[in-house]
Amino acid sequence: MPTSRASVAVPTVVAIAALIALVAPAAFPAAARPNEVPAPPAAPPTLAQAAVRIRGESIATGGAWTKLAWLTDRIGPRLSGSPGADAAVAWALQELRRDGMTNVHGETLMVPHWVRGEETVAIVAPVARPVVAAAIGMSVPTPPEGITAEVIETDSFEALAALGDRVKGTIVLFNKVTPAHIDGAGYGANGGLRSRGPSEAARLGAVAVLVRSLGTLRARLPHTGSLRYLDGVPQIPAAAITEEDAERIHRFIAAGETVRVRIVLGCRTLPDVESANVVADLPGRERPSEIVLIGGHLDSWDLGDGAVDDGAGVVAALETLRLLKQLGLTPRRTIRAVLYMNEENGSRGGRAYAAAHKDELDRHVAAIESDSGAGRPLGFRVLAGPGAADAVRALAAHLAAAGSSAGAADVAEHAGVDIDPLRIGGVPLLGLRQDSTHYFDWHHTMADTLDKIDPRELAENVAAMAFMAYALAESPEPLPRLPAGASKTP
């Protein structure tokens, strides 16, 4: 918020004299000291020194936590097309201007506008029991009276196909446990059941789909997410149910009983609306036309406040620019923050940025994305040309020496949803890796709130992103690039 300043009445002559005395030496150095030789500019710190300063400042100030508290507590859910998404764009622009960044602007794009309505799911046989559920993002609604049908259970597309004609007229339950891993691998392995499951079930004549939530905590929390209907296949309603409710249905079926469920979903897709990516620069001192991009996605799901997904990534990018400016660490190249809109249910923000900047992608020397929460930072995933991971590892060694846990760098086939479209221009891509053991406890649920973030770990994430952005922007030679148009690691 703007800082209020008390006005003090000062006689005009005294005020002007005082002002001249204060500004004359700085404003007119040649006239005031004509014989002095200007001092040479101070040499930039070594990368080792920069790592220590950045980490120390991030931990000491906690600026990212303050930003995240405002975003989550005062704005909250930010699904694209919603008033919360609009408020988040306005807030981010204001924060960047307040922090003194340049080229602060929004880049407009059209985004989906899906809204959640009534959500009622219940077992009606062999007993009557409520089911805790949430519509999967972009699902079509049920008829007003709902859908009541027998449930048939499977845990893979192969097992579904083997059921054949038995699927017709049923509600398919995709019931597969998502194990907790430090790298979140369990979520990636099961994600297709939610995104493609409704269409695969519809091919065989299913009337609706339930998906066991892709979560790693038994807390009776439904995890939403997004689906994509396949062309030429009927669109059927889909909802995520809690692990506990999936287990109950499984026990009934395993006992040989017929399970019937009633689903009522009032969700709907409205016409696309205008929104924006938010962009701002910290200009480089020698090669300002060359860009190191950092970012996260500004939108979130509508159930919680989007603290771990991806408020943490958003404030890491914002605070990176502020920290570097505060510390006077101006690298050779420009560091650009991009806060993307619509990662969750369309990924249009990443594609829109790549399209709008297609003629300057050759001047994007690297891009870093943070979209895995704010657990302890572990290092970086690297998708770039040969030798790039070794180069990033050498830079990250300065972080490790400064006390950070983010000293690793590994070759990867994916670095981030929003920066992925930059592959077309050969841009080296980095994903900030966090300990994701508990990320999928809360992700895409109503419990994705600020209290799930540890302030110290958030500060460590900021330090890791800020240092790597600075190091890549300061390094004399850029990272090896991907072949233009590359679709996977060479």
Which residues participate in catalysis according to the annotation? 343
Cβ neighbours for 262, distance < 8 A, ≥ 6 positions apart? 120, 121, 122, 124, 146, 147, 148
By DSSP bridging, strand 429-434 and strand 377-383 are antiparallel
Between the alpha carbon of residue 404 and those of residues 235, 320, 327, the distances in Å are 48, 16, 19
Euclidean distance between the first and final Cα of the chain, in Å? 48
- Give dist(CA 81, CA 342) in Å, integer: 9
- Side chain identity at residue 472, one-letter code: L
Cβ neighbours for 351, distance < 8 A, ≥ 6 positions apart? 421
The answer to whether 29 touches 36, Cβ cutoff 8 Å, is yes
Q: How many residues does the chain have?
A: 490
- Give dist(CA 98, CA 426) in Å, integer: 33
Phi then psi for residue 396, to 5 deg, are -65, -20
For residue 214, give the nearest of 437, 444, 446 by alpha carbon.
Answer: 444
